[in-house]
Each structure stands twice: as structure tokens, then as C-alpha cells.
């Protein structure tokens, strides 16, 4: 049978009673990927994720640029979670250079990481709403996300692309009136979460579409190696902030929400609970930062190298002006592996240096890249209309997966 063209997809009859449907990369949901599914009636028999539509060659470009330049480059992978994705890279550099940031810089990084995590989860909810045809959720989540985008903008000067951490510290100190704004945002968001529960998570229509859909058992999750809220919804208590506390996460008080069901609804609940924990971390970080005003945000050896004018700017405005020597710095030869917990899960950097001005090899494995395998092994057996629910619930973000 000849290929028949429908809106935005190609349908072919591949065998008797088996149809092949090409979904994407232009499709009603969000995301630049294609899934090729084979259908028997409307039950999915086989699914083949075809990713790579946003492959922008981060690993190759990192190899030809100087050590600092990959920071703004790599954060384009997950532009909505920019601090979380750059902190592990900077940690890897710090491991190679044997440098450690002062505590105030670490707290500032954690503060921005958690602000990003809340914004990233809200983005996920908004997109999930689009997938399920729930426009209210899209409007509410994106409206509330602006609160946290605004907070990050006040802290760093950019809406999304912060480029905040630098090896040994951060770029800017916190403005004076920031703590009060952060506390107001946290209070506002706590109240909104209750409304989210009423309109979205406990909504009977949403519950019917999510409950028991895309179930990943505990052993299956470990076998597929998926990460983040998806693995915590399957009863595995794994979070990098707990397993290998980086920055100052071991000094903070927070819980790792774990659910046992492993279905799309549990994955949604994990995100709601994580937002609550992140809000609590934001409060703790802001309290600590207020108690320790005036502490340095770059190491002493870096401060000593600054010329007089740069020192004045740093002391008056809290902004770090990097010297030209930073751009061409050399890093001792060696290998380092660093990981961090992003909104969507664990990110791993493997950085290798040969002592030159550019990295020898940067390997980055992002959470969505590891979650892509879910489409191949979990989706078959479901109906076609369960696919948007599963896609939205694992919070897959293609630019991050394709790198």
C-alpha cells in the first residue's frame, strides 16, 4: 500500500494489520524528536525513538574552545536549568585544579540551582499540560515560572543563560534586597502548590489518564538505568545530592521524596514534592547568606591576583571581573568525573585534560539522554493516546538529550 499523507505524519501499512506511524518532529506536543511507532489497532507494538534533531555537537566544540568557554556553551543544552548543568562541569575543573570555592560561593550556587530546579519542574508541568490538553496547567505553570525566572534574573542578570559559576567561585554576589524577594516567592509558591493539586494532580480526568500508565518497576528502572524523578517514583532512593553531596548539600536539611508505584501519576507527585523541598532549601540558603554577609565569593589566591580597579569593583558591587589570563589558563593533566542532580536527574561529566588550554575530552551524559530508552522499552503495550502521557510524565527535553 502506498504511503498515505496525513497532517504532520506519514502512515504506512507495513504488514497485515500493522501500521507504522511517524510522530514528529513537528507534532502537537512539545519537543523536537520523532517516535516511530508500529500499531496493531491502537495498541503500540513497537516504538523506536529517533532523536538527534537538536544535536549541536557540544562535545566536539568543547574540545576546541578554552576551558571557560564551554560553560556558556553547555548551558544551552538545558537552557531552563542552566545553573544545575554547569555546576558539575565547574566541579570537574575544580577537581583537576585542586581548588575549592569559599562557602558563600557554594551557597550562592546552591541557591541558584534550587531556583532553577523549581523553574524547571514548573516548565515540565506546563508542557505536561500541553500534552494532555490541559491548557490551564500550561498557563498557570508558565505564569508562576516567571516568578523564579525573575528571581534568577535579579541574582545573575540573565533570564535563562546565567553562566553563574566560574572555577573557584561565582560571578556575582547577591543583591541586598534579594532575601526578602526570595521569601515572598517561596510563600507564594507554597500557596499555589495547593491549587495545583486541586486543578491538576487530583483532577479526576488527569488521574484517569495517568494512573497505571507507563509503569516502571523497581528492577526495570535499575536495568534501564533511568534517572531523576522517574527512578525515585519507582521506589529507588537515589539522588546525587544524597549519594555524593556536592557543594554544600550535606549541610542543608531536606528530604528525598520516593514513591513506590512507578506510574505516570507517581512521577508527577515526585515533582510536586521536590518543589516543596527546593522551596525549603531556598529559605535555608537565603538565611545562611544573610547571616554571613561580606564573606568572599572567590578564593583568596584569585583575589590577590586582581588589580586595584578590579578589586574596587568587586568590593563595591560584588561583581567579579575575570582577568584575560583566565581565558587562556592551563589546567593540570588528569581525569575527573563529576556529577550533579538536575531537575530531570543525574548529569555526569567526564573531563580529561592533557595540560593544555583546551579540554582533551569532555563527555557529558545528560538525564534526558538516559531517559530516552524508556520510549523503546516501556511504551510498547500501551495505547497510542497513552504516549503523550508517558512522554510528558518522564519530562523529556530533547535539546538536553541530543547535546
Partner 1 sequence: MKPEELLELLKHALGGLAKEVTVRKGYVEVLVDADSVVPVANKLKELGFDHVKSVTATDYPKESKIRVTYHVSSYLREDLAKPILGLSVDLPRDNPVMESLTGVWRSSEFQEREVYEFFGVTFRGHPDLRPLLLIPELAERRVLRKDFVVKEESIYEGVPHRYQ
Partner 2 sequence: MDVKAVDKVYVGNINVAARRARELLLGKLKLGDVIDWATTFSLWPVHLLTSCCGAEFAATWSPRFDAEQYGALPWVAPRQTNFIIIEGTVTRKMACALRITYEQMPHPKFVIAMGACALDGGLFYNSYNIVRPWEVVPVDVYIPGCPPPPEAVARAIIDLRRKIREKKLASRWLIEGWRHDRDPVKPADDVCKWWRP
Chain contacts with partner 1 (rule: CB under 8 A) = 51-52, 55, 57, 59-61, 64-65, 95, 218-219, 221-226, 231, 236-238, 243-244, 334-337, 339, 346, 348, 350, 352, 360-361, 363, 365, 369-370, 372-373, 376-377, 402-403
Please provide the DSSP assignment of 163-212 as one string: --EETTEESBPPPTTHHHHHHHHHHHHHHHHHHHIIIIIT-HHHHHHHTT
Nearer to partner 1, 20 or 402 (CB): 402
Residue 57 touching partner 2 (CB under 8 A): yes
Give the span between the Cα atoms of 251 and 229, in whole angstroms.
22
Q: How many CB atoms lie within 10 A of CB 264?
A: 27
Residue 76 touching partner 2 (CB under 8 A): yes
Contact present, 312 and 319 (Cβ < 8 Å): no
Nearer to partner 1, 222 or 313 (CB): 222
CB of 258 to partner 1, least distance (A): 12
Determine the interface stretch with partner 2 among 24-32, 175-183, 268-276, 286-294 (rule: CB under 8 A): 24-32
Nearer to partner 1, 160 or 222 (CB): 222
**Residue count of the chain:** 403
Residue 166 touching partner 2 (CB under 8 A): no
Nearer to partner 2, 161 or 328 (CB): 161
Chain centre distance of CA 128: 16
| Total chain residues near partner 2 (CB under 8 A) | 43
How far is residue 204 from each of residues 29, 130, 200, 260, 353, measured CA to CA in Å? 22, 17, 9, 21, 54
Return the one option of partner 2, partner 1, none that residue 79 interacts with (CB less than 5 to 8 A, by type): partner 2
Q: How many CB atoms lie within 10 A of CB 319?
A: 14
Binding residues among 302-331 for partner 2 as defined by CB under 8 A: none
CB of 57 to partner 2, least distance (A): 5
CB of 171 to partner 1, least distance (A): 23
Place of cell 479526576: 204
Which helix H or strand E contains 152, and what residues bound it?
Answer: helix 135-156
Amino acid at each position: 500500500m502506498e504511503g498515505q499523507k496525513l497532517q504532520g505524519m506519514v502512515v504506512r501499512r507495513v504488514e497485515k494489520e500493522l501500521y507504522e506511524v511517524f510522530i514528529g518532529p513537528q507534532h502537537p506536543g512539545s519537543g523536537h524528536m520523532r517516535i516511530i511507532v508500529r500499531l496493531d489497532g491502537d495498541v503500540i507494538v513497537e516504538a523506536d525513538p529517533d532523536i538527534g534533531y537538536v544535536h549541536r555537537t557540544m562535545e566536539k566544540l568543547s574540545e576546541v574552545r578554552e576551558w571557560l568557554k564551554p560553560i556558556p556553551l553547555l548551558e544551552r543544552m538545558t537552557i531552563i536549568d542552566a545553573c544545575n548543568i554547569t555546576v558539575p562541569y565547574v566541579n570537574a575543573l575544580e577537581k583537576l585544579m585542586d581548588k575549592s570555592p569559599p562557602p558563600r560561593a557554594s551557597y550562592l550556587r546552591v541557591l541558584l540551582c534550587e531556583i532553577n530546579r523549581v523553574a524547571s519542574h514548573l516548565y515540565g508541568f506546563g508542557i505536561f499540560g500541553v500534552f494532555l490538553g490541559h491548557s490551564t496547567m500550561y498557563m498557570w505553570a508558565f505564569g508562576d515560572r516567571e516568578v523564579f525566572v525573575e528571581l534568577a534574573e535579579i541574582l545573575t542578570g540573565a533570564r535563562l543563560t546565567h553562566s553563574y559559576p566560574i572555577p573557584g567561585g561565582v560571578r556575582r554576589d547577591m543583591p541586598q534586597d534579594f532575601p526578602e524577594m526570595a521569601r515572598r516567592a517561596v510563600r507564594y509558591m507554597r500557596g499555589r502548590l495547593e491549587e495545583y493539586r486541586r486543578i491538576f494532580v487530583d483532577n479526576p480526568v488527569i488521574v484517569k489518564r495517568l494512573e497505571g500508565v507507563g509503569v516502571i518497576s523497581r528492577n526495570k528502572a535499575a536495568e534501564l538505568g533511568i534517572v531523576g524523578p522517574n527512578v525515585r517514583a519507582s521506589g529507588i532512593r537515589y539522588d546525587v545530592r544524597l549519594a555524593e553531596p556536592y557543594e554544600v548539600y550535606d549541610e542543608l536539611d531536606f528530604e528525598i521524596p520516593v514513591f513506590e508505584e512507578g506510574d505516570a501519576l507517581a512521577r508527577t507527585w515526585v515533582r510536586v514534592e521536590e518543589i516543596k523541598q527546593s522551596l525549603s532549601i531556598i529559605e535555608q540558603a537565603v538565611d545562611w547568606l544573610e547571616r554571613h554577609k561580606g564573606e568572599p565569593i572567590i578564593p583568596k589566591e584569585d583575589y590577590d591576583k586582581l588589580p586595584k580597579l578590579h578589586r574596587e569593583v568587586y568590593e563595591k558591587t560584588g561583581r567579579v571581573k575575570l582577568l584575560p589570563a583566565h581565558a587562556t589558563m592551563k589546567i593540570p593533566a588528569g581525569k575527573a568525573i563529576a556529577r550533579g542532580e538536575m531537575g530531570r536527574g543525574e548529569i555526569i561529566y567526564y573531563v580529561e585534560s592533557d595540560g593544555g588550554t583546551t579540554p582533551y575530552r569532555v563527555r557529558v551524559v545528560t538525564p534526558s539522554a538516559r531517559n530516552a530508552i524508556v520510549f523503546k522499552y516501556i511504551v510498547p503495550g500501551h495505547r497510542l493516546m497513552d504516549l503523550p502521557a508517558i512522554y510528558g510524565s518522564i519530562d523529556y527535553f530533547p535539546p538536553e538529550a541530543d547535546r
